[in-house]
Amino acid sequence: MSPHRFLGFGFAAADLLLEIGDDGKVTFALGAGESVLGAPDRALAGRTWQSLFDVDDHPMVEAMFRGLDDGARAGPVVLKVAGDEERSANLTAIRLPQNKGAISCALSKAAQRGAAGLQSREDFEARAAELLAGATQELELAFVDVVGLSQQKAGSPDAARVDALLAGALRAQAYRGEAATEVGPDRYALVRAADEPAAALISRISRVLSDVGLEKIAPTSAAMPLTGSVRPKQVAQALRFALNQVLREGLKKPLPSSLSNALEQALQSTLSNAGALGAAIRQRRFSLAYQPVVNLSDGALHHHEVLVRFGAQGSPFPTIRMAEELDLIEPLDVAVLEETLKVLASDPTLTLAVNVSGRSVMSEAYVSRVVDLLRKSPSIKGRLMFELTESAAVEDLGLADRHIQALRAAGCEVCLDDFGAGAASLAYLQQLTLDLLKIDGRYIRDLQHGGREATFVKHLVNMCGELKVRTLAEMVETPEAEEAVRKAGVHYAQGWLYGRATEKPTPTLDAAVGRRFREGALSIRTAHDRQAPWG
Ligand code: C2E
Ligand code: MG
Ligand code: MG
């Protein structure tokens, strides 16, 4: 048969044909080199493959070439072309037994592809959903366990290279060389063509591991077919469910049988979470913890913040997030409020601040409930405060302000929580009439080092002064941070320096706090005296 006939077949699927010898150099090039790689084909012979593709993609190409048995084919993967941000190419490679170890490559122009290496979980979910929407063949979500890898890698000077090669090997196996991510320690996920045998995935990864001297590790894999009808919007949710299951349970538990099955299980689990959380709230299966807030003018206890706790779990944050997502935050805020009112009624010396989500503040029912409860217990007046958290949920600042004014009219001070983090921003300060503003902990931790945080805090305190809003600094962990916020003119402080959240409100502060304040006050007076003109 004429050689031209073979070239015809080659060019039917590709724009450029390359042969790479076992020294990694191009031994033959024919076709549209200029349009695919930005150099004419005759200029390609003798160049190394590394000089053709972007350095970020080298581990993938290396893993792809190393993993090729005689007669085996790999790809297509999408690569960035070296020295050209805009240019990407599809590469398919095959090693024919007759070719003395040389690798035959077919290249064509490709649309831009995403970042090299492994993706973050979020990017992976989003990219996998996009790939699935545009796929021309059946895909699967494959998982690879490489048990013992991090242990063997630890302390090895080659650790970074092992990571790069493994990422390359995973991407070389992924559909279009794209979506691959780390699910948990030594566990990876990728989207790949469903008709590729699972054994090929394992053997190619084993090959890369043994090349770097880690032959004792035996990778295992499992896959979930990405089939079934799922609306595009819900694909990421279904994928997330499968990824989370593997993160929690490893590969022991059977994977969902299809994408639609994963979605079904995801919805079921959401419903059962909602059911369980709803029941926990109704049955008051939570406790309250109390963290002291001190007055920075004299070091005296001002009030306690009430923080909810679920079981032995430390931070309630994941549960609060879930409650926000499942529309259960208002019943939770109401339940915490009712329990807090009982505590306030039982101890007339206490002042307590409860957190209230932006969503609850938007609710007519929540605010009337508070007003109603306070009317019935006059002894509590002036001793209940609110911290507005998750203000991202405030959709209508005008309505939120009317509700806040109703709470203030009922005798409660209102504080804007987490100012400077995410949503709680200047618009809130401008449109809400507030008593207090809590400066987010991220500004406080770095405050003592001066710099940008110090400038931010200083100006914020000045602005609040003009608006008649008092300020509170959270996450004050050290005497240096205390000194810095005090100097900036902040009114109150909260943080580990004064105490963590405890089961019972602490009636007095640590003696060290008082001592520091007495000494601090003394040194200020001495400084004043020295400056006095008659001194
Ligand atoms: P937040 O209101 O900003 O509460 C401060 C968080 O910082 C608390 O975490 C507290 O334990 C922690 N913290 C206090 N001092 C320090 C410190 O010096 N250093 C450090 N690193 N951390 C400190 P926690 O208890 O995990 O609460 C997390 C968030 O959960 C709260 O943030 C609040 O937004 C929310 N939350 C707690 N209870 C409720 C509730 O009853 N209702 C609502 N809607 N949200 C709540
Ligand atoms: Mg708070
Ligand atoms: Mg906060």
One domain for residues 475 and 496? yes
Q: Is 18 within a domain? A: yes
Compute the distance between CA of residue 62 and CA of residue 165 in angstroms, rounded to an integer.
8
pLDDT in tens, the chain (535 residues): 566 677 677 777 788 999 999 899 999 998 888 889 988 999 999 999 999 999 888 988 988 888 787 777 887 788 889 988 778 888 888 888 888 888 999 998 876 655 556 887 888 888 888 888 888 889 999 999 998 888 887 777 777 788 888 888 898 889 988 888 988 888 999 999 998 888 888 988 898 888 888 888 889 999 999 988 888 878 888 898 898 888 888 888 888 988 888 888 888 888 888 888 999 999 999 999 999 999 999 999 999 999 999 987 778 888 898 898 888 999 999 999 999 999 999 999 999 999 999 999 999 999 999 999 999 998 999 999 999 997 677 889 999 999 999 999 999 999 999 998 766 678 888 899 999 999 999 888 877 776 777 888 889 999 999 999 999 999 999 998 999 999 899 999 999 999 999 999 998 888 888 888 887 755 544 434 444 333 3
> DSSP secondary-structure letter at 81?
B
Q: Is 115 within a domain? A: no
- The CATH number given to whatever domain includes residue 22 is 3.30.450.20
One domain for residues 95 and 209? no
Sign of CA dihedral 198, 200, 203, 205: negative
Q: Which residues surround ligand 3, an ion (CB under 5 A)?
A: 418
> Token digits for 128?
């996998």
One domain for residues 289 and 265? no
418: left (phi over 0), alpha (psi -120 to 50) or beta: left
One domain for residues 102 and 215? no
The strand order across the sheet containing 187-193 reads: 180-184, 187-193, 139-145, 220-225
> DSSP secondary-structure letter at 296?
T
Ligand 1 centroid–CA 472 distance in Å is 14
One domain for residues 265 and 296? no
Q: Is 116 within a domain? A: no
One domain for residues 54 and 184? no
CA-nearest of 39, 470, 174 to 297 is: 470
One domain for residues 249 and 300? no
Nearest-CA residue for atom 11 of ligand 1:
501
> Looking at the 3D structure of the chain, how many domains does it have?
3
Ligand 1 centroid–CA 307 distance in Å is 6
> Token digits for 374?
């306070």
Q: Is 279 within a domain? A: no
Ligand 3 centroid–CA 498 distance in Å is 16
Give the domain-ending residue among 240, 270, 300. 270
> Token digits for 100?
């003395």
Nearest-CA residue for atom 24 of ligand 1:
315
Identify the nearest ligand to the CA of 321 by its number. Answer: 1
One domain for residues 62 and 176? no
One domain for residues 315 and 456? yes
Q: Is 276 within a domain? A: no
One domain for residues 382 and 313? yes
What is the pTM for the complete model shown?
Answer: 0.65
Tell whether omega for the bond before 76 is within 30 degrees of 0, i.e. cis.
yes
- The CATH number given to whatever domain includes residue 479 is 3.20.20.450
Q: Is 534 within a domain? A: no
Give the domain-ending residue among 63, 90, 110. 110
Identify the nearest ligand to the CA of 419 by its number. Answer: 3
Cα–chain center distance at 401 = 31
- The CATH number given to whatever domain includes residue 144 is 3.30.70
Our mutation pick for probing the ligand 1 site, out of 304, 313, 321, 355, counting the most ligand atoms within 8 A of Cβ, is 355
Residues touching ligand 1 (Cβ under 6 Å) are 291, 307-308, 315-317, 320, 329, 333, 336, 355-357, 387, 389, 417-418, 474-475, 477, 495-496, 501
Give the domain-ending residue among 85, 110, 135. 110
Our mutation pick for probing the ligand 1 site, out of 287, 474, 503, counting the most ligand atoms within 8 A of Cβ, is 474
Parent domain of 524: 284-529
Which atom of ligand 1 is the closest one to the Cα of 438? 3
Amino acid in the structure at residue 222: A
Ligand 2 centroid–CA 121 distance in Å is 29
One domain for residues 158 and 80? no
Ligand 2 centroid–CA 240 distance in Å is 30
Q: Is 275 within a domain? A: no
Q: Is 354 within a domain? A: yes
Which atom of ligand 1 is the closest one to the Cα of 307? 38
One domain for residues 135 and 59? no
